[in-house]
Structure 1
Amino acid sequence: MVTLVNLRAYWRFVRVLHQFLPLIVTYARDRRRFLLFGSSRSVDPETQRRRADRLLSSLLTLGPTFIKLGQLLSTRPDVLPPAYIEVLTSLQDDVPPAPWEEAKPVLEAEVGPVDEVFDEFDHEAISGASLGQVYRATYEGDEVAIKVRRPGVEALVEADLRAVKWLLPILLRFIDEARRFSVENVAEEFDTTIRQEMDYSRERRMLVEIRENFADNDRIRIPRAVDELSGNRVLTMEYIGGVKINDVEALDELGIDRSELAESLQRIYLQMIIEDGVFHADPHPGNLSVMDDGEIIFYDFGMSGRVDAFFQEKIVDFYIAVANQDIDGILDAMIEMGTLSPDADREVMGNVMELAIADVRGEDLEQYRVQQVIQQVEDTIYEFPLRLPRNFALIMRVATVVEGVCVTLDPDFDFISVATEYLTEQGYREEGIKQAVESAGDQLEETARSLVTVPPKLDEVLGRVNRDDLTVEVKLADQHDVLDQLAKRITYSILVAVGLLSTAILYSFNEAPEAAAVAGAVTLPVGILLYRSLRRKKGVKARPQFTRQEMRRRRGDE
């Protein structure tokens, strides 16, 4: 069995390499025109979109596993440029279901003979996805939906994961150092995520937990799981029908207030992330429906996540800072969440945030959308780059998709006002004098703590100096590779000097003209490199990462 899996993995590796190698080489040539040397190439947005379309085509060609990979990449602006994110966001996990004859053994292995267990069973799947498909049936008089893992998908996913693992070292050779962390992080996350999505027992546990969290909330409806008919490869739950949440005309016919519906959806997700710490992470319109009374139905908990208490606190800080237009607060929250390096240029990042907020701000300073703020931040993540922890990437995706659904329901929907009201109601956001007094009190407490702790620490340092036991580590910041250029010039000069001297000695003795010619031939390329190095313009060659003019240029290109 292991041998068969390995053989399949080898074959899949060849197919994956065949699909991705042209894109990898193209990307590498953007950094070095001739792969091993040469200047970098600038790529306009239109070219990026064409490449993104080719990537999308490759993912679809490679099948279910890589469709999931594409969906994951669409949440990672720290890995791909904005043009790729835009294209991959449209990637839907909607593929034709496998024939009933192939799915039946999987179902019966988990629940028993279909004809004996169910009162009625419709053999035509009502939906199909890359990892599973859903059927309707009747069980003990109640309508149920049965989610069945796609036949044979385990072996395919296992082979594809091995192929991705083998491809990763090749890919890392062609990308810059700053991007390697994010790429390795995505590979690890993908392995974990797709295994979780194939485990329907985990999905059932997440469904049950989220359902319990909203037991007293009449704005949300989550199907009840049928435990006795569920397992690792099958999930049975009550069937609840409704109108798709983006079917505006049908909602209007039902007389549903779409503004209230949008606010309810936003508040539900705020509770999941900020209060409960467990959230449904795939809120596209296919997974959200509305009942006649306005309740929102949630489907498909395969993609879901958790948020620990520390991260919840920092997300609250981030939301409050955005609501207050507090640039320093936004940057501090991002640093504490691990999405921004503490060594990042705060002035540059502050300009990014100011421009992002100013760009989406209307005449009324409170009217701007968090989706647009997040989009502007995402556009800069790839260039700086920032690091996105898995849960934060999911949360950013959730915030963007949810706000898109809300704006479809109500074009005037204002996320900030709803989030601000929610945070204030829950006691997270205190305004006016109380907030100022608390801030001043915190600063006074910090000052008092410093007065107590600094003298002992200073005394300890002076003691170590007196004992000659003080080690000082010095890190030299050379962001523009000035020292590296200087070292190259010195090395080239030494090699040229040695080469010229050797050539002259060999030629003067006139006993080894061939050796003199070889020494001269070897010295000549080094001399050319030295000449080119000295011909470069003086000063540091640096391209500003973000300027107002660059923002206008990029928008003009778009």
Structure 2
Amino acid sequence: MADAGRPGPHRARYRRILRFASLQLVQLWWFELFLPRIGLAGIAERTRTDRMRRIAQRFHVLAVDLGGLMIKVGQFMSSRLDVLPPEITDELAGLQDEVPAVPFADIKALAEAELGVPFDRAFAWVDERALAAASLGQVHRARLSELDAADTGLENVVVKVQRPGIDEIVAVDLAALRKVAGWLRRVRIVSDRVDAPALVEEFAQTSLEEIDYLHEAQSAERFGENFAADARVATPEVVWERTTRRVLTLEDVTAIKINDTDALRGAGIDPDEVADAFAKAMFEQVFTHSFFHADPHPGNIFVTPGATPDAWRLTFIDFGMMGQVPEGLRSGLRALVIAVASRDGRKLVDAAQEVGVLLPSADTKEFEKAITALFARFGGMGFAELATVDPREFRDFASEFGDTIRALPFQLPEGMLLLFRAVALTSGMCSGLNPTFNVWDAVEPFAAQLLRDETGSTVRAFADEAWRAAVTTARLPGRIDAVITEIEEGTITFDTSRLERRLDSLIRIGRRVVSAVVFAGLAVGGALLIVPTPPLGIVLLAASVVPLAHALFAGAGRR
């Protein structure tokens, strides 16, 4: 972080961020640590809501003034409902990544240096007015040169160019954030509830990927390949000949914004159908492809009309923020779904630990108590029934539940955070298109598939165990006969009749034990599956009678 240590605007920026953070930490120490120790905890309690709101307001001003990565920090914080109070997240939720455009001459100079050719050779025309300007880069419309158009089959494109000097600003901002995280790690009231350095590193990784346009281009192509067979979902083509780490050239796919319901109806497109298709596409990304668009706000989704009113498609853009669901997280999500389906608080706590949302210092008893209360209040309702609950009841319970969760060392890992962000934006978007939209109805088919996958895994496990037991039983007499043959053909002569009787007895006992194991496996499997899959559960329970009879009565007449 050399830039922060040299004189100039970057050093001033670094110090301003640290000064803001240190003032908030002093206030935190005074109200949350010092006043309670001298018996004035009531003052801290009464003023906490207003203090949190004022901190968020001051940070809002700081972020807008500094721009750069600080706006992204505010947006990131607004999504951290797991570690920050609603007074902060609500205030920062409206922080928009909109800043004045960089003069076109500066953008042109950077792009030409990156591409290695003058603009008039790379493009036949470039609109000097920015189509969009954000804290990390800005976008201009353009037309490809005749040669590039012939090679790619494209003509109209958009060119996304980094803001000049943004690399240095990002480095300075991350250095300041890491310094603040180090301070927070030494404050027990914070460190017991949140791993601040881990949060900063999570944010840093996402931010560095977002300013690497080669990474974004690869994500766009991967996303397109995942939906290659789906005519309802489209992505812009990447013009690789005019793409570098700081310049990204894509097919211009500008169309109707997904939240423009008047334009949709004008094109003969039903917004309700768009909501259903959008939710399906988003959850397919999560549950099928394990690779999803983590920033699906209205500016990043277009509805492109087709030749007929029913031939429209969803076109996704801006793949800088993507989420992945690794196998470990997918396994944890499956466990979470099963725990919710069975309304088992203990299983859900175990699943939360598997996913990694609980820090080592977590009091799981308190968490289990909160989850049990959640199930007791809403657990008996199906997906559709939840839509009929009074929203005020949801808000009241969410407030109580949120306070409990924030009191625990509860922290969403990166994959889960981006997933929750995507689901929240999806739910909000679909509700805007269709006021009666219920996100649970959209999730239910995928949740049911997870349960079927889990059921299939359970059945396969029982089948494998039963098969191994049967093979062992089938091979046991042959092995014992071989041992007896070797003894009989040996040079030592002795009476083996008693040994043979003992071995026969052991074989019978072994077979009955194996039958008992098979019976237990089938019975337990049937009991587990009788509710989610009644026919299969009944078959397993019925089949368990055969090994049970053998275990109880085989050899009953022998002595």
Q: Which residue of 1 aligns with 2:285?
A: 272
Q: Which residue of 2 aligns with 1:91?
A: 95
- The equivalences for 1:142-221 within 5 A come to 142-174=155-187, 176=189, 178-179=191-192, 181-221=194-234
- The equivalences for 1:459-470 within 5 A come to none
CA distance in 1, matches of 2:462, 2:31: 50
Equivalent in 72, 77, 81 of residue 81 of structure 2: 77
Q: Which secondary structure state, in structure 1, belongs to the residue aligned with residue 451 of structure 2?
A: coil
Q: 1:409 to 1:142 in 2, by over 3 A?
A: same
CA distance in 2, matches of 1:291, 1:407: 20
Does residue 344 of structure 1 match 2:344?
no
Q: Which secondary structure state, in structure 2, belongs to the residue aligned with residue 158 of structure 1?
A: helix
CA distance in 2, matches of 1:407, 1:235: 33
Report deviation, 1:38. Answer: 5.5
Contact 2:221 2:238 in 1 (8 A): yes
CA distance in 2, matches of 1:358, 1:169: 41
Equivalent in 281, 301, 318 of residue 288 of structure 1: 301
Report deviation, 1:271. Answer: 1.8
Q: Deviations over 1:206-226 (max 9, x none)?
A: 111111111111121111111
Contact 2:140 2:158 in 1 (8 A): yes
| Counterpart AA for 2:89 | I
Equivalent in 299, 307, 310 of residue 317 of structure 2: 299
Does residue 390 of structure 1 match 2:411?
no
Contact 2:235 2:317 in 1 (8 A): yes
Q: 1:321 to 1:75 in 2, by over 3 A?
A: same
CA distance in 2, matches of 1:405, 1:30: 39
Q: Which secondary structure state, in structure 1, belongs to the residue aligned with residue 181 of structure 2?
A: helix
Q: 1:383 to 1:443 in 2, by over 3 A?
A: farther
CA distance in 2, matches of 1:98, 1:165: 28
CA distance in 2, matches of 1:86, 1:332: 30
CA distance in 2, matches of 1:280, 1:132: 19
Q: 1:418 to 1:320 in 2, by over 3 A?
A: farther
Contact 2:122 2:242 in 1 (8 A): no
Q: Deviations over 1:146-192 (max 9, x none)?
A: 11001111111212222223333334444515446421111112222
Q: Which residue of 1 aligns with 2:248?
A: 235
Contact 1:28 1:35 in 2 (8 A): no
Contact 2:234 2:314 in 1 (8 A): yes
Q: 1:105 to 1:363 in 2, by over 3 A?
A: closer
Q: Which residue of 2 aligns with 1:315?
A: 333
CA distance in 2, matches of 1:363, 1:120: 53
Structure exhibiting the larger radius of gyration computed from Cα positions: 2
Contact 2:383 2:440 in 1 (8 A): no
CA distance in 1, matches of 2:399, 2:255: 31
CA distance in 2, matches of 1:305, 1:6: 36
Contact 1:65 1:157 in 2 (8 A): yes
CA distance in 2, matches of 1:438, 1:313: 14
Does residue 114 of structure 1 match 2:119?
yes
Q: Deviations over 1:260-287 (max 9, x none)?
A: 2212212212221222122111111121
CA distance in 1, matches of 2:156, 2:113: 21
| Counterpart AA for 1:417 | D
Does residue 409 of structure 1 match 2:433?
yes
CA distance in 1, matches of 2:236, 2:401: 36
| Counterpart AA for 2:369 | V
Q: Deviations over 1:320-359 (max 9, x none)?
A: 5445655444333222111135751154222442367369
CA distance in 1, matches of 2:133, 2:386: 45
CA distance in 2, matches of 1:335, 1:442: 26
Report deviation, 1:29. Answer: 2.4
Contact 1:361 1:367 in 2 (8 A): no
Report deviation, 1:72. Answer: 1.5
Contact 2:193 2:410 in 1 (8 A): no
CA distance in 1, matches of 2:451, 2:380: 25
| Counterpart AA for 2:323 | G
Report deviation, 1:90. Answer: 1.8
- The equivalences for 1:21-100 within 5 A come to 21-34=22-35, 39-40=40-41, 41-42=44-45, 43-100=47-104
Q: Which residue of 2 aligns with 1:124?
A: 129
Q: Please say which of residues 282-291 and 309-318 is displaced more in the overlay.
A: 309-318
CA distance in 1, matches of 2:70, 2:380: 36
CA distance in 1, matches of 2:462, 2:350: 16
Q: Which residue of 1 aligns with 2:488?
A: none
Contact 1:356 1:376 in 2 (8 A): no
Contact 1:31 1:39 in 2 (8 A): no
Contact 1:79 1:183 in 2 (8 A): no
CA distance in 2, matches of 1:343, 1:65: 35
Q: Deviations over 1:400-450 (max 9, x none)?
A: 1111111111111122222112344xx42349xx9699589879979x99x
- The equivalences for 1:231-270 within 5 A come to 231-270=244-283
Gaps of 5+ in 1: 450-558
CA distance in 1, matches of 2:158, 2:97: 18
Q: Which residue of 1 aligns with 2:477?
A: none
Q: 1:355 to 1:97 in 2, by over 3 A?
A: farther
Q: Which residue of 1 aligns with 2:450?
A: 428
Contact 2:130 2:139 in 1 (8 A): yes
CA distance in 2, matches of 1:444, 1:357: 38
CA distance in 2, matches of 1:38, 1:6: 45
Q: Which secondary structure state, in structure 2, belongs to the residue aligned with residue 364 of structure 1?
A: helix
CA distance in 1, matches of 2:7, 2:64: 22
CA distance in 2, matches of 1:28, 1:359: 43
Q: 1:365 to 1:76 in 2, by over 3 A?
A: closer
Contact 1:20 1:58 in 2 (8 A): no
Q: Please say which of residues 175-184 and 14-23 is displaced more in the overlay.
A: 175-184
CA distance in 2, matches of 1:437, 1:389: 26
Contact 2:213 2:248 in 1 (8 A): yes
Report deviation, 1:14. Answer: 1.8
Contact 1:23 1:51 in 2 (8 A): yes
Contact 2:278 2:430 in 1 (8 A): yes
Runs of 4+ deviating beyond 6 Å? 358-363, 371-376, 439-446
Q: Deviations over 1:480-527 (max 9, x none)?
A: xxxxxxxxxxxxxxxxxxxxxxxxxxxxxxxxxxxxxxxxxxxxxxxx
Q: Which residue of 2 aligns with 1:20?
A: 21
Aligned length: 443
- The equivalences for 1:355-504 within 5 A come to 357=378, 364=385, 378=402, 380-424=404-448, 427-430=449-452
Report deviation, 1:142. Answer: 0.9
CA distance in 2, matches of 1:68, 1:354: 35
| Counterpart AA for 1:350 | I
